[in-house]
Amino acid sequence: MNPRTIITGTGHFVPPKVVTNFDLEKIMNTSDEWIQQRSGIRERHYAEDGVGSSDLAVEAAWRAIESAGIDKSEIDFIIAATIAPDHYFPGIGVMIQAKLGLSTIGALDVRNQCSGFIYALSVADQYIRAGSYKKILLCAAEVQSHNLDYSDEGRDMAVLFGDGGAAVILEPNPADDGRGILSTHLFCDGRAYRDLWMEHPSSRRKPTISADLFETGGFYARMDGKNVFKNASVRMPEAVMAALQHNNLTIDDVALLIPHQANDRISQMVAQKLRIPIEKVARNIDRFGNTTAASIPIALDEAVREGRVKRGDHIVLTAFGSGFTWASAVIRW
């Protein structure tokens, strides 16, 4: 049997600047009460001008490399997930390679929004189990704060997002002890792609960029919040149940559920539907906001460092996001 993929190192990094709900009250038409009640968020981190997603990914990568106890030269492949690349192209994977000073190993960018980490994890898992690579660096990082719409039209989204990065090192498990990634399940429903999207810049449009887009706010992300809420709170439990059934596990076997930190009300709804005690659910959105692809690996790194995850525990990850895409993964730690 092919070896399972284990996570041997984790790390995360958020930019030092903290922006509280009260700070947002000063620049837009919102309130701490509204934000906390609707999302559970108290504060988030914002990157300074000149700092991009690749920079956060690199800081997180150094921490993951250190925690794995490896030398950077041992990394033989990079996978990066972001919806906020430093540039329209190339992706951030190549920038991470250059900034870490790695050799000419391949770098792959995955674009699956809030589900990006689990989609990327599934790709890494296939490569490791096939024997293609021995030490994969997987980074997920987002700088969203540089493109938020603080007007009334965009305030439903602007208050939710924060900046952050996280990374994991993935390797084949040398032992035959059953530890590792047990499964990944990936789903999407592309019919809903306009319900949570950033329409411009668009290759369908000629010219791709023009001044009227600034006037109409065409460069900002938009969502149908009600539909996102409804689908997220159904699809994540569905994905978790598919994963548990596939592995002959029940919800009682789960030591920690790490849902994408979309909105704490969504996480609570997911916990309720799955009948898992809320203490077993990772929740850090109050301090970081929604960091899209980075939210699951940030929560994972915190859980590992806090000792919430023990050897042999079953950890379940689940995500939902733009696309719509949704996913789950089961890891025996």
Write out the catalytic residue numbers. Answer: 114, 260, 290
Can residue 274 be called a binding residue for ligand ACO (CB under 6 A)?
no
Site for ligand ACO in 1-20 (CB under 6 A): none
Rounded least distance, CB 202 to ligand ACO, Å: 20
Can residue 219 be called a binding residue for ligand ACO (CB under 6 A)?
no
Can you point out the beta strands (E) in the chain?
A: 5-13, 18-20, 43-45, 77-81, 106-110, 136-142, 164-172, 180-188, 196-198, 221-223, 254-259, 314-321, 325-332
Cα 251 from Cα 125, distance rounded (Å): 23
Contact segment (CB under 6 A) with ligand ACO among 76-84, 85-93, 203-211, 228-236 equals 228-236
- CB-based burial label for 77 (10 Å; 0-12, 13-18, 19+): buried
Rounded least distance, CB 192 to ligand ACO, Å: 11
Tokens of 283: 């929740």
Compute the CA torsion angle 282, 283, 288, 289 (nearest 10 deg).
120
Q: Of 127, 223, 203, 204, whose CA–CA distance to 172 is shortest? A: 127
Mask of contacts with ligand ACO, 234-273, x by CB under 6 A?
----------------------------xx--x-------
Can residue 232 be called a binding residue for ligand ACO (CB under 6 A)?
yes
Maximum Cα interatomic distance, the chain, rounded to a whole number of Å:
60
The β-bridge partners of 258 are: 317
Rounded least distance, CB 313 to ligand ACO, Å: 26
Can residue 320 be called a binding residue for ligand ACO (CB under 6 A)?
yes
Can residue 111 be called a binding residue for ligand ACO (CB under 6 A)?
no
* Residue of 62, 187, 197, 229 interacting with ligand ACO (CB under 6 A): 229
Q: Of 118, 117, 56, 132, whose CA–CA distance to 81 is shortest? A: 117
In contact, 52 and 86? CB cutoff 8 Å: yes
Can residue 290 be called a binding residue for ligand ACO (CB under 6 A)?
yes
Contact segment (CB under 6 A) with ligand ACO among 31-39, 59-67, 128-136, 235-243 equals 31-39
Q: Which residues bind ligand ACO (CB under 6 A)?
A: 30, 34, 38-39, 114, 155-156, 159-160, 196, 223, 225-226, 228-229, 232, 262-263, 266, 290, 320-321
